[in-house]
Structure 1
Amino acid sequence: MKQNKTVAFIYAHPDDETFGCSYLIRSISEAGGRPVLLTATRGDAGKTGHLGAMTREELAAKRDLELEKAIEILGIAAAEQLGMGDGKLKEVEPALLQERIAEFLTRHRADVVVTFPEDGLSGHRDHIVIHHAVNKVVYGGRAPSVQKLYYNQVGSYASDKSSVLRVEAGERWEAKRRALEAHQSQVFSVERVFGKLGAMVPPGHQFESFELAWERGVHYPRKEENSVFDGLI
């Protein structure tokens, strides 16, 4: 059942996939599934860490390379970038963003989608725009292959309205650590969230959690799950 099933990760910036989904991505690959990634921007409005001053184009090129390395470490089967304005997704015509997301999901015949929750996790405006665009596509039936939609979830690993899937770090922390290190320009953000990276899983990061928001027309179903593949037909 898991073999060749495709899980699509839809995010705003390079590194979003690594911060929130490394354990999940690795677990999908380990189970014989196919993780794919769509990133809306190249992250060229971000900081440069210890790399010094850069133009926006130089930073974009650097972050392209960082993402390529993280993709290889995590085992992502295919990745695409839309090249839209970093920090300016709210200015993008919603129909255009939705069209590009729907096209990506349809072309890859995605069975499952993972994206930001309503608050974007951090309140970032680009994250929130992606959340609403993905909802419009999935809930509107514009990607017919999609059976399930998950949101990143942080905190208690529990929800009052839905089921929450937890993915343990275990040996996957090493891949997450290396992927985080690959995003060199974002070292300050990495250290703010995870502290100094080392061999041990940082406190509070033993799990990644994901709320099941939708499954074949049912919003926030309550069910026991061990994997994003559970219940797929």
Structure 2
Amino acid sequence: MSIALAVVILTGFVVYALLLAAIARLRASAHEMFRRSAGNDSNRPVVFITAHPDDESYFFAPTVLAVRHRPVHVFCISNGNFRGVGRVREKEFETACNLLGVQGSILNHKDFQDDFHSYWNAENLADEISKYLSKLRPALVITFDERGASQHPNHISTYKAVQLLVMQNRLPNCTVLKLDSVHSIRKYTGAFDVLFSRSDIQVVSTWSQFRLAQKAYLTYKSQLAFYSLAYIWTCRFMIFNTFTVLQNEDRRN
């Protein structure tokens, strides 16, 4: 065996060991994260506020699956009718939520339709979200951050609406977490991105949870493209999530 080959093999083992250590650290932190963020009342639900059908599987699945021991609701703003397949995506959303073991609802308001070129009115959307949340009294609300995970204006608008609720103190006794966006290079490095994550609030899937997330994503047949299989194996959002607490004073975004 040549020296170069030996170095490559040794380097591979070291990288693999570091990856396993990082994943173990993330797994250990997940329970503590939700114990702190969601409180001890297991009857109060966790609510995910998303923009389109498939967001719950595309971006949030590791966390959705991590909190299934308590009531989990996904409140989706639009039915994803950008290409005229909204009714199809509604059925796909129902199937995905059933697979993930959560309750799903779609607002589908005429003022908040799927559009990659438009931002939604944050104040009006905040009112609609508030109506939904008032019925549930959640302990934890989870949504996008100011970059929307993919820069989609509807994702960003969803964040802005939830941010407004926090700033107006309309989510009492509730922790709000925003999903950390990352550079596109990091986004597609899969589990290896755990080596670069510095967030204190993290959730990583087990192998079985990761495979279930993939299955849920693949129910969206209307959205599948040539790159979909590559996505479900390489995107960090399918494997783990990191979060930042959305603070009342967070007004700069």
TM-score (norm. length: structure 1): 0.74
Give the match for residue 168 of structure 2. Answer: 140
Q: Does 1:213 align with 2:239?
A: no
Q: Is the 8 A contact 1:41 1:85 kept in 2?
A: yes
Deviation at 1:82, TM superposition (A): 3.2
Give the match for residue 225 of structure 1. Answer: none
Give the match for residue 116 of structure 1. Answer: 144
Question: 1-side partners of 2:162 and 2:117: how far apart?
Answer: 13
Give the match for residue 25 of structure 1. Answer: 64
Give the match for residue 36 of structure 1. Answer: 73
1:35-114 matches, cutoff 5 A: 35-46=72-83, 56=84, 59-83=85-109, 84-87=112-115, 90=118, 92-114=120-142
Residue identity matched to 1:174: R
Give the match for residue 201 of structure 2. Answer: 164
Question: 1-side partners of 2:206 and 2:149: how far apart?
Answer: 20
1:144-155 matches, cutoff 5 A: 144-154=172-182, 155=186
Question: 1-side partners of 2:235 and 2:158: how far apart?
Answer: 26
Q: Is the 8 A contact 1:9 1:114 kept in 2?
A: yes
After superposition, the C-alpha distances for 1:102-132 in whole angstroms (9 at most, x for unaligned) are 1222211111111112111111111111111
Deviation at 1:72, TM superposition (A): 0.2
Q: In structure 1, the residue corresponding to 2:62 is in which secondary structure?
A: helix
Q: Is the 8 A contact 2:210 2:239 kept in 1?
A: no
Q: Which runs of 5+ in 2 are unaligned?
A: 1-39, 187-192
Question: 1-side partners of 2:153 and 2:119: how far apart?
Answer: 11
Question: 1-side partners of 2:133 and 2:53: how far apart?
Answer: 19
Residues 152/68 of structure 1: CA separation in 2 closer, same or farther (3 Å cut): farther
Residues 93/211 of structure 1: CA separation in 2 closer, same or farther (3 Å cut): closer
Deviates more, 1:36-45 or 1:204-213: 204-213
Deviation at 1:191, TM superposition (A): 3.4
After superposition, the C-alpha distances for 1:84-108 in whole angstroms (9 at most, x for unaligned) are 2111794643321010111222211
Deviates more, 1:101-110 or 1:185-194: 185-194
Which of residues 190, 205, 219 is equivalent to 2:228? 190
Q: Is the 8 A contact 1:6 1:110 kept in 2?
A: yes
Question: 1-side partners of 2:167 and 2:228: how far apart?
Answer: 33
Question: 2-side partners of 1:204 and 1:121: how far apart?
Answer: 11
Deviation at 1:208, TM superposition (A): 1.4
Paired residues, number:
197
Residues 86/203 of structure 1: CA separation in 2 closer, same or farther (3 Å cut): closer
After superposition, the C-alpha distances for 1:170-208 in whole angstroms (9 at most, x for unaligned) are 2102221221111111111633522xxxxxxx2454731
Residue identity matched to 1:64: E
Deviation at 1:7, TM superposition (A): 1.2
CA RMSD across the alignment: 2.5
Q: Which runs of 5+ in 1 are unaligned?
A: 47-55, 195-201, 220-233
TM-score (norm. length: structure 2): 0.69
Deviation at 1:149, TM superposition (A): 2.1
Greater share of helix = 2
Residues 165/2 of structure 1: CA separation in 2 closer, same or farther (3 Å cut): farther
Q: In structure 1, the residue corresponding to 2:115 is in which secondary structure?
A: coil
